[in-house]
Amino acid sequence: MALKYDYFLFDFDGTIADTGEGIRKSVAWCLEQLGKPALDTSVLDRFIGPPLHDSFEKYCGMTQEESERAISVYRRRYTDIGLYESRLYPGIAMLLRALHTGGSWVAIASAKPRFMLEKLAAYYGIDKYLDAIVGIGEGRHSSDKRDLILAALPEGAQPARAVMVGDRLYDIEAARSLGLGSVGADYGYSLPGELADAGADAVFDDVPALAAHLLGGDGPRGLFISMEGSDGCGKSTQIALLRDYLERRGFEVVLTREPGGCPISERVREVILSLDSKGMSSECEALLYAASRVEHVRKVIEPALKCGKIVICDRFLDSSIAYQAYGRELGEDFVRQINAPAVRHAAPQLTLLLELDRAESRRRMAQGAPLDRLEIEKEDFFARVQAGYDALAQAEPGRIRRIDASKSIEAVFDEIAREVERLLAGR
């Protein structure tokens, strides 16, 4: 769908990231070092966004010379510590990804020093979505927002096809005076009414509303990652590491599992896996997995994807293909058919297949929890399950990525992170 704009410029502090804590603490520390009176938090908040020297002059009564010195003291703490006392606003990473992968120009135009913006963009992994990062320094000393905006646009860009998103009146006023669209991020550090009074075209209280406005429709859809692998392959450990990795990058993550993942499906899980269910027919087993899946997709996976979250699911349809179609020899057609209602709306974009040879898998299982009904199956069953995974991986090498799970936890995770980065970059 064609968007209203081709060029999307974002302020950083208070728009992309909540950098408040680091800035407040570093200003307070700087004033203490200089023997100046302390400021209230509400005044410290005013330092977030505008050029620092303006704020030191306005709120601490400093001369231009004094404010220059204050900035150099401030940076002693901010550059190493304060920079990382920040977090991306929930949903912003997915918005930047959606704009970038959709072919739009995405840039930062901020009065922060450029080297800091670059460090933060790399730290949060959003650098891959940015066509330009414009801040001050490296020959650019003007912190006039209009100069920053102009530098963040590619040559020949029509201002009317560009929009500036920011949380302070400086952003809005500069955008308007250059003929760009202007959108206010009211979740940042604006004062009540500041952005509307400055004449913003639209003002939003949270990132999902902003994203829906910029992208049209419902905002960005999330991403679905499933994890597959033999018993004892270390899936749970890697899933927990992946969640932390993605959350640090500002994504909202939903961790879930199959069979299970929601109350009804967890009850079905008990029926399927219980040793009391010995003798269950293969068809009944396959249908129960499919039943638990359709409920899980409707109640958990689909709603999470709809609001732009990343779903990491411990096993999904591929398990049914490997275990029921191949292991139980029910055939792929039957298993795909009964799972059609579940996967119609939700299919993983990336499946990480953690591979471990059977002897090692058995050794690891022997050290773990008591075995369930599936785990006590005979060796020829597991050989067929493995053949199922091999066939799937061969048929869909782009989606199903094989990971050697015999390596160390760190080495396995490095491989997983590489695959996930490819997905995040939209490659």
Q: Would you count residue 320 as binding ligand TYD (CB under 6 A)? A: yes
Min. distance of Cβ 5 from ligand TYD in angstroms?
A: 43
Choice between 173 and 285, CB closer to ligand TYD: 285
Q: Which stretch binds ligand TYD (CB under 6 A): 39-47, 138-146, 160-168, 372-380?
A: 372-380
Member of 252, 375, 390, 421 binding ligand TYD (CB under 6 A): 375
For ligand TYD, the binding residues in 269-298 under the rule CB under 6 A are 273, 289
Member of 55, 104, 110, 319 binding ligand TYD (CB under 6 A): 319
Number of residues that bind ligand TYD (CB under 6 A): 14
Q: Which stretch binds ligand TYD (CB under 6 A): 35-43, 153-161, 197-205, 320-328?
A: 320-328
Q: Would you count residue 315 as binding ligand TYD (CB under 6 A)? A: yes
Member of 34, 150, 307, 374 binding ligand TYD (CB under 6 A): 374
Q: Would you count residue 323 as binding ligand TYD (CB under 6 A)? A: yes
Q: Which stretch binds ligand TYD (CB under 6 A): 44-52, 84-92, 315-323, 343-351?
A: 315-323
Per-residue 3-state assignment (H helix, E strand, C coil) for the chain: CCCCCCEEEECCECCCEECHHHHHHHHHHHHHHCCCCCCCHHHHHCCCCCCHHHHHHHHHCCCHHHHHHHHHHHHHHHCCCHHHCCEECCCHHHHHHHHHHCCCEEEEEEEEEHHHHHHHHHHHCCHHHCCEEEEEECCECCCCHHHHHHHHCCCCCCHHHEEEEECCHHHHHHHHHHCCEEEEECCCCCCCCHHHHCCCCEEECCHHHHHHHHHCCCCCCCEEEEEEECCCCCHHHHHHHHHHHHHHCCCCEEEEECCCCCHHHHHHHHHHHCHHHCCCCHHHHHHHHHHHHHHHHHHHHHHHHHCCCEEEEECCHHHHHHHHHHHCCCCHHHHHHHHHHHHCCCCCCEEEEEECCHHHHHHHHHCCCCCCCCCCCCHHHHHHHHHHHHHHHHHCCCCEEEEECCCCHHHHHHHHHHHHHHHHCCC
Q: Would you count residue 361 as binding ligand TYD (CB under 6 A)? A: no
Q: Which stretch binds ligand TYD (CB under 6 A): 44-52, 62-70, 178-186, 312-320?
A: 312-320
Q: Would you count residue 231 as binding ligand TYD (CB under 6 A)? A: yes
Q: Which residues bind ligand TYD (CB under 6 A)?
A: 231, 258-259, 273, 289, 314-315, 319-320, 323-324, 372, 374-375
